[in-house]
Structure 1
Amino acid sequence: MRILVVEDDAVLGDALQQGLTQAGYAVDWVRDGLQARHALTAEPYAAVVLDLGLPRCSGLEVLKELRQRRQQLPVLILTARDTVQDRIQGLDAGADDYLIKPFDMDELSARLRALLRRAHGFTQPYLQIGEVQLDPAARQVSYQGQMIELSGREFTVLHTLMLAAGRVLSRAQMEESLYAWGQEVESNTVEVHIHHLRRKLYPELIQTVRGVGYLLPRPKTSSNVS
């Protein structure tokens, strides 16, 4: 999952980038509203962590423009502005959640997980497709009740495919979910991770749609939970 962090404080921005990276996200960090505008029009993100008091363009302006373009990605406001009116203004502008500084990184991660699963129509704390179950909080995967050991990137690939179950994702879309700015993208990395997932789980789990991308079919009997 690729996340955009918009935070002008260097110490806090660095801490957010490191903490969310450790939580398994690919994290891009910008320090002002104009950079946020550019990033949001140039890159695909799963969610945004947005400060309000930003140089050059306020977080509220960034949020309003995002919603005017009808972009539906989840936005979590992270700010020191703690009055009721501030919270009302942020939520009415289109934010999905509002968290006050100082904050706990574990709570921020939990709120992001909740926003991501709601954005994809899931309500429970785990995803299940057939006999494959994925727990985003524990970063654990099981198949037929047995725990399956995955690397961090394999987990992210499976998580991305399960959230998009029933929809074909291109190789480029998969790469965009795996890598933040400045990280080198290996030419066959997606294919390698898909191969490992098929071997560790079962071969038919992920289908290759020739010339298009990859599909994790949603069985008619599976429940829409996460």
Structure 2
Amino acid sequence: MKRITLLAILLSGFAVVSNAQTSYWTISWPVSVGMGATNDYISATSFRGIGISGRSFLTDNLSIGGEGSWEVFNEIKRDLPPRSLDLGNGVYSNISGTEYRYLNTLPLFVNAHYYLGSNGSIRPFAGLGIGTVYVDQRTDIGLLSFQNNNWRFGLQPEIGVFIPFGLSPSGVNLSARYRYGTKASDADAISMFSFTIGLGIMN
């Protein structure tokens, strides 16, 4: 029920944007690196992902909207200590070998942003997204695969700037953001820092 409610809120945010007199749409490419336990699991930088957002201006400097994105992390880990394997009925064993680790994240946020400057000029902004993050984490060792996937509550503070192409409503969108997804019952919290570059249209 919570996932349905959050998705409904997100879709409502996009509906507000589509009917707004002044809106800001972006499509972006994120470059992300894990932090904390996420970095312990996969330290490699992610260069695979995409993000789409839509925002509606309530005033000249304040917008609300929605955002969805997708990031993919992967890394090969070698020379690791053996890990314990529960075989059931109180029987345990150890397994070791090269580990192939994968992490997919799919955040869905409603957000609010505050902008400096005026329409048609360079516009720095800061904002906060609140919503949910779907996390799919998998580790392959030989023929064995350990997988965990779930939805978590998420937060995403962000700073950025929109740089228009001259007098055109389109321009470059640059941003830096930190994302946090809460700990699940059987999985660590997710945290990462991302730098994004993309195309924006403000009209």
Please, what TM-score do these two structures have when normalized by structure 2? 0.24
Where is the helix percentage greater, Structure 1 or Structure 2? 1
- Is the radius of gyration larger for structure 1 or structure 2? 2
